[in-house]
Amino acid sequence: MKTLKKRSEFLAIAKGGRVGRRAFLLQGLKRDTDDAPRVGYTVTKKTGNSAVRSRIKRRLRAAVAALESADIPQKADFVLVGREAALSLPFQNLVSDLKSGLSLALDPKSGQRRRTPRKPSGKPVPETASSRKQG
């Protein structure tokens, strides 16, 4: 499977759907072209040093390679954001989580974050010069 390389491709896919799993976050976006599906891999620096991040990416690449072509939706791009749990999770669980999340990540509604309205804190708002009545 082809891999994503450019930052603009990663940012475009981030606007699509997303599914959180224990070992990774999976982002997906449908495309109009008939090209083969592509996958991008990323691990943030807060996860660990470069050796740890590279090991996580290698496990994620191996999990994608273990999938059958029928399991991967066509006309789509995916980004796997690795988490530290990818190192300790058994490989078969990693593959099954990936397989179950691929079709879910293409739903654009799964990428919307639910925001609840903030409740007033009950504290009085301090009076400013502009809010005082001038008379």
User: Which residues constitute the domain of residue 55?
Assistant: 2-108
- Domains identified in the chain, total number: 1
Establish if 24 belongs to a structural domain: yes
CATH number of the CATH domain containing 20: 3.30.230.10
Establish if 47 belongs to a structural domain: yes
Site of tokens 């475009």: 12
Per-residue pLDDT of the chain (135 residues; tens, 9 = 90+): 889 999 999 999 998 889 999 999 999 999 888 888 999 999 999 999 999 999 999 999 999 999 998 889 888 999 999 999 999 999 999 999 999 998 888 877 765 555 556 666 666 666 666 556 555
